[in-house]
Amino acid sequence: MMKIDALKQIIKGQVPSPGVFLLWGEEAFLKNHYKKQLVELLSPDMMEELNVFVFEGKNYSIREVDEAIEGLPVMAEKKLLIFNDSLIFKPDGRTGAKAEYRDYWATRLQDLPEYVAIIFDESEIDKRSALLKQVDKAGACVEFAYMTEEEMVRWTGRLFGILEKEISPADARYLNEITAEGMMAVRREAEKLAAYAGDKKQITRQDIDELVMPTVEGKVFDMVAAMLAHKADEALRLLEDLFVLKTDANQILAAIIYNVDKLLQTKILVDSRCDKSQIMSNLKISPFAATKFMRDSAKYSKDELAELSRRVAETDGYIKSNSMDNNVLISLLVSELATNKNADNTWS
């Protein structure tokens, strides 16, 4: 796999560019940043409307792709084809592209004209894919994974510097912890904070608390932690905060299911001796989320978390089949799980 530093060398013209690029990874901000630079590098200087082709999703026309590849560039040396979420790098035909598409590319990639450049921009891949290995051998496969916590804290500090503001490392970390995952979300909040601060130079935690709304998933994470610790009053207070914000009961339950599932999966991975980077990769979560899930999952047994997952799934079924007010059902679930526990450490 190609490192981002090697991709930078290609973009700067320091090394020759391959004909095919595959970009993927959870950090959409970085991926979009380098994709934009690649498109600028590979796009022809003239007649762009006749030499650049964009194909969306997995159900594009293979015939149109072939015609785009085989036709000579119009008043230019190169032509560029961009595929957004083609899903050809997922061998499972149910969730990925159909076999006919994967078969087409297995052959087509062996016989690309020199005047053709291709960018595959994928949100989902399977690293075991034979096509991925084929592209990696002949082109450039670049993964844009989440940065580490320390890298994100430093990047956030530099971002505020660009916005002509300052933020302490502790407050930069706090902003990352309560914000939706990824650089794009942090940048949005940073721009809001910078505008809100006006002439004030220093961004403080108070500014963050006043302006940045923690994600529903983050609020629910704290609520699930209170439920697991059997702090019923705290769990119900956090739930009431969500109700005050008019958060839909189905959204709250979906976030509870998400958090409980991630706690359970983290526990299983930790028991299997996976490290933090492996947990992030397997669960597709940020380093800040991984830290929280690893910390809290360590407090409970796998059986406890599995039982909690079962109970939450039951409530999901009740909500879908019951006429009772959904907020009431969620309140009952949170109250019951935060207070009831058998002697064998499972929920009754």
Structural domains of the chain, with CATH: 4-143 (3.40.50.300), 149-211 (1.10.8.60), 216-339 (1.20.272.10)
Q: What is the mean pLDDT of residues 142-161?
A: 95
The sign one gets for the Cα dihedral 204, 206, 210, 214 is positive
For residue 209, give the nearest of 226, 224, 193 by alpha carbon: 193
* Residue 341 banded pLDDT, cuts 50, 70, 90: low
pLDDT computed for residue 217 by the predictor: 87
Q: Token digits for 194?
A: 């910078």
Q: Which two structure tokens, joined as six digits, stand for 159?
A: 């971002």
8 A C-beta contact, residue 74 and residue 47: yes
d(CA 229, CA 223) in angstroms, rounded, equals 10
Q: Residue 340: what pLDDT?
A: 66
**pLDDT over threshold 80, residue 20:** yes
Question: Would you give the end-to-end CA distance of the chain in angstroms?
Answer: 49
Report helix, strand or coil for 157: helix
111 pLDDT more than 70 = yes
* pLDDT at residue 347 is higher than 70: no
Q: What pLDDT does 345 receive? A: 44
Tell me which of 62-71, 152-161, 328-337, 339-348 is least confident. 339-348
* Angle, alpha carbons 49-55-59 (nearest 5°): 150
At 264, the pLDDT band (50, 70, 90 cuts) reads very high
- % the chain with pLDDT above 90: 72
As a whole number of angstroms, the distance between CA 302 and CA 327 comes to: 29
- Give the residue-averaged pLDDT of 110-117: 94
Residue with the bigger pLDDT between 103 and 316: it is 103
Average pLDDT over the chain, rounded to an integer: 91
pLDDT one-digit tens code per residue, 191-229? 999 999 999 999 999 999 999 988 888 889 999 989 888
Q: Is the pLDDT of residue 324 over 80?
A: no
pTM here is: 0.81
Q: Which of 299, 310, 301 is nearest to 261 (CA)?
A: 310
**Is the Cβ–Cβ distance between 80 and 55 less than 8 Å?**
no
CA atoms of 33 and 4, how far apart (whole Å): 12
Evaluate whether 2 touches 9 at the Cβ level (below 8 Å): no
In degrees and rounded to multiples of 5, residue 250 shows phi and psi of -65, -35
pLDDT of residue 302: 93
Contacts of 320 (CB under 8 A, 6+ apart): none
Q: What's the length of the chain?
A: 348
For residue 162, pLDDT beyond 90: yes
Confidence of residue 289 (pLDDT cuts 50, 70, 90): very high
pLDDT tier at 317, thresholds 50, 70, 90? confident
Decide if pLDDT at 53 tops 50: yes
| Residues 156, 174: Cα–Cα separation, whole Å | 11
